[in-house]
Structure 1
Amino acid sequence: MDIPIEKKRFTKSKIIIGVGLILLISFIIYVFVTSGGKPKLNVNTERIMISTVKDGVFQENIPVSGSVLPITTIYLDALEGGRVEEIFVEDGTIMKQNAPILRLSNTDLELSLINQETSVYNLLTQMQISQNAARQNTINKLNQMTEVENALIEANRIYKLNKKLYEQKAIGRNEFEEAENNYNYQKQRMALTQQILQQDSISVKQESVQAKSSFTRTQSALKLMRKKVGDLVVRAPVDGQLTSLDAEIGQSKVKGERLGQLDVLSGFKVRVDIDEHYISRIYTGQYGSYSFNNVDYKLQIKKVYTQVSEGRFQVDMLFDKDMPKGIRRGQSFQIRLALSDEKQAVLVPKGGFFQQTGGNWIFKLSDDGKIAYKVDIQLGSQNTEYYEVLQGLGAGDKVITSSYDNFGDKQELILK
């Protein structure tokens, strides 16, 4: 008779598997509980930048790029058109004021000068002839005046004599009236001659003034024409260095065409490009700093060009006191342009962390430096080196300021 064998509920293999599952689940629960549910990441401290938050003097500034230009640049344009006949100096020459640079020729202008000079000489000759004629006419009138005056004196003498003789009945009435009529005639003639001589004097003066005015205008035109011919020789308006000379022998230049430029070497200015985002915060008098050979130099904004081109505008800055030795035209360098006054603030060094966090949070190290965890922060202004911390951090805190690209969504970092 067969005896039924009872099947065992728990085999040895099942017991081993069950124990293993229990241990695995327990380990997972332990890790979850001990980590608080936060995802962690092991990080090598040699691959990150750890910075210390500090309390110090803060000034908001922005980095801008500037290029060195002469303090003044004078453009040389052709005041008169013509053909290039001579070039006296080469590009880059140091010039003295009024030193000749090049000479143009213009036959039409030179012919006009000759015609103008001829006109002046002709006018001068006509003036001399007119003055001589007026002088002779005046002399004739003065002679007439003398004759009339003499005739009046004689008529007056005869009239007085005949009047006495007539009263004494020595002469007849007819002879007396004849003397009286002649005397009255000579008086009227004398008055008319004086009037004519007075008008002649006024006329001579008017003609003289008009002639002088006409001669002065003609001389001014001649002077202007000579200046125009003189402008065919292009000269240095001030002391400086000739740059960008664009002229060749035989080349034709039209009036107003650019021939070159003269850079005044008494000093330099810096032309700075700035993003249009800051245009409302830039004004004359603001300062910037520039480091050259480990020496800091201060610059001040002297002129703001408000025209915006391709999202940028420009300003001119001058060195406040000392100027670096050895700088040259066209040299470029970085300037820290101040946008605010200095103040005390909590500062965190700038770094790649801002790209991922936007300044809203940062990894802060624990007191023992073994763990870094997320903390919410609020940043204010910035300069080329630091962010201003408004809240979330204090002086002495250590934070990770390098890039967070490899941290993903981890809430804590285990530092090794």
Structure 2
Amino acid sequence: MDIPIEKKRFTKSKIAMIAGSILLVSFIIYVIASSGGKSKLNVDTERIMVSIVKDGVFQENIPVSGIVLPITTIYLDALEGGRVDEIFVEDGAIMKQNDPILRLSNTDLELSLVNQETSVYNLLTQMQISQNAARQNTINKLNQMTDVENALIEATRVFKLNKKLYEQKAIGRNEFKESENNYNYQKQRMQLAVQILKQDSISVKQESAQANSSFSRTQSALKLMRKKVGDLVVRAPVDGQLTSLDAEIGQSKNKGERLGQLDVLSGFKVRADIDEHYISRIYTGQYGSFPFNGKDYKLKIKKVYTQVTNGRFQVDMIFEETIPEGIRRGQSLQIRLALSDEKQALLVPKGGFFQQTGGNWIFKLSDDSKTAYKADIQLGSKNTEYYEVLQGLQPGDKVITSSYDNFGDKQELILK
């Protein structure tokens, strides 16, 4: 008789399959649990920058680039056109005031000077002739005046004598009347001679004044012409260094054409380029600073050029206290330009995190510094080193300020 064999309910293969299924389901659940809700990412701490939030003095500033220039630059233009005949110095020479730089020639101008000088000499000769004629005319009138005066004196004597003789009936009436008429005639001649001499004096003065005025104008014109010819020699207006000299022997230069420039070496200024975004916040008197040879130096805005070119405008800044020793013309400087006064604020160092977050959130480390999670924040103004924290952080908080490019959309970082 056959004995029925009871089939086993769980074989080894079934148990293995069940165990494998359980492990697979567990792994899937783990993965789902790990990836669901708050996603995490393992991060090597050596590849991130961790900064500490702190209280400190904050001043809003912006970085600007500046270039060192002479305190004053005087442009040398051709006051008169001409041909370059001689160049006395080379570009870069140190000049003293009135030192000659170059000489131009202009034959038309030089001919005009000769003609003007001839006109002055001719006018002077005419004036001398006129003065001699007026002087001779005055002498003649004075001689006539003397004759009239003498005739009047004689007529007066005869009239008075005949009057006494007529009263004594020593002479006749006809002789008396003749002497009286002669007396009256000589008296009228005398009055007329006085008027003529007075009028002659006035005329002489007027003619002399007109002649002097004409001569003075002609001399002024001659002086001006000589100056124009003298301007053909270009001279240094002040002490300084000659730069950008643009002239060659035989080259023609038009009136007003730029020949070069003279840099005054008594001091320096800094010309800085600033983004037009800040044009409404830049004004004279604002301060900036820059490092040089291990020290910080202060600058102050002296002039703002409001003309915008390629999205930027310029300002001139002067050294507020001392000029750094060893600084040179043309040297570039990196300047921190202050836009506000100093104040106490909560500060977080600047970093690449801002490009991904826009300053709206940041990865904040846990108390044990083993993880970092997203924290909503609000940032205010910024300077070259820090952002001003308005909300979301406290002094002593540790945050990641390096770039978040590799973090994707992870909500939590596991720091290792």
Match of 2:56 in 1: 56
- Amino acid aligned to 2:364: K
Shift of 1:7: 9.7
Q: Which runs of 5+ in 2 are unaligned?
A: none
Q: Is the 8 A contact 2:34 2:40 kept in 1?
A: no
Q: Any idea what the Cα deviations from partners look like across 1:87-119, whole Å, max 9, x if unmatched?
A: 111111101110011111111111111111111
- Amino acid aligned to 2:207: E
- 2:177, 2:97 → 1: CA distance? 88
- 1:187, 1:112 → 2: CA distance? 58
Shift of 1:13: 4.9
Match of 2:164 in 1: 164
- 2:245, 2:33 → 1: CA distance? 81
- 2:323, 2:7 → 1: CA distance? 102
Counterparts in 2 of 1:120-139, with a 5 A limit? 120-139=120-139
3-state DSSP of counterpart to 1:170: coil
TM-score (norm 2): 0.95
Residue 205 (structure 2) pairs with residue 212 (structure 1): no
- 2:197, 2:34 → 1: CA distance? 132
Match of 2:381 in 1: 381
Counterparts in 2 of 1:12-411, with a 5 A limit? 13=13, 16-26=16-26, 29=29, 37-411=37-411
- 2:255, 2:11 → 1: CA distance? 112
3-state DSSP of counterpart to 2:149: helix
Q: Any idea what the Cα deviations from partners look like across 1:360-411, whole Å, max 9, x if unmatched?
A: 0000000000000000000000000000000101110000000000000000
- 1:133, 1:178 → 2: CA distance? 39
Q: Any idea what the Cα deviations from partners look like across 1:304-342, whole Å, max 9, x if unmatched?
A: 000011110000001111111222221112100000011
- 1:171, 1:5 → 2: CA distance? 214
Shift of 1:32: 6.1
TM-score (norm 1): 0.95
Alignment root-mean-square deviation, CA: 2.2
Q: Which runs of 5+ in 1 are unaligned?
A: none
Q: Is the 8 A contact 2:142 2:197 kept in 1?
A: yes
- Amino acid aligned to 1:167: E
3-state DSSP of counterpart to 2:125: helix
Shift of 1:173: 1.3
Shift of 1:21: 4.0
Q: Is the 8 A contact 2:82 2:232 kept in 1?
A: yes
Shift of 1:37: 2.0
- 1:35, 1:314 → 2: CA distance? 54
Shift of 1:159: 1.2
Paired-residue identity, %: 87
- 1:313, 1:5 → 2: CA distance? 101
- 1:34, 1:316 → 2: CA distance? 60
